[in-house]
Amino acid sequence: MHERSHHSNGAGSSYPTFYGTTILSVRRNGRVAIGGDGQVTLGDCVVKHDASKIRRIGHGRVLAGFAGAVGDSLALIERFEEKLLAHGGNLVRAAGELSRDWRTDRVLRRLESMLIAVDEEHSLLLSGGGEVIQPTDGVIAIGSGGNYARAAALALHNSTDLPADEIVRRSLEIAGDICVYTNQQHHIEVL
């Protein structure tokens, strides 16, 4: 599920792009939804159609979605949940601590994964470079179909009154129609 390439963000930095999934989160009207497709690829072969890449963690108060190598992503979510529990469920503090560890810990630095984590107040992107990014528009996406899903979600967010979960569903459908590493089997959770 994780072929990886690097691309420039135009400012000279290089961020990894993970192929093999699409994860999208949308925040609207006091609700936040996160969803992902179910496709798992190994090289150029689809090996699973209905994987769930969204997890409820932190006693069900945080939703997390991952893109990248499955084992690495699961290890990262487990480590993130430990941070959440250690910091009383404070998403921002846990993300900051995980980010610090991700930059300095030899084992974590090798993980090929990205995370989106959301709670009732915050939406965060955690990347392997140790960045913690909070979008200003409440829409965030990762994975090979992430840019397609994000563009669709922004268009729907700005032009309709659809609830967050419906925007996520429709945007994942659009990404699945465009990205060969994204399918139409969706798992969506809402807080």
Which candidate in 21, 22, 41, 182 is catalytic? 21
pLDDT digits (tens, 9 = 90+) for 44-100: 788 899 999 999 999 999 999 999 888 888 888 999 999 999 999 999 999 999 988
> Hey, what are 115's tokens?
């995370």
Say if residue 5's pLDDT is above 50.
no
Domains within the chain, CATH numbers bracketed: 4-185 (3.60.20.10)
Active site residue 17: no
Distances (CA, A) of 159 to 7, 37, 86: 30, 24, 41
pLDDT of residue 19: 53
pLDDT of residue 105: 79
- What burial class does residue 59 get, using C-beta atoms within 10 Å of its C-beta: 0-12 exposed, 13-18 middle, 19+ buried? exposed
| Residue 140 near residue 116, CB atoms below 8 Å | yes
Mean pLDDT across the chain: 87
Across-strand partners of 36? 23, 187
Across-strand partners of 65? 54, 116
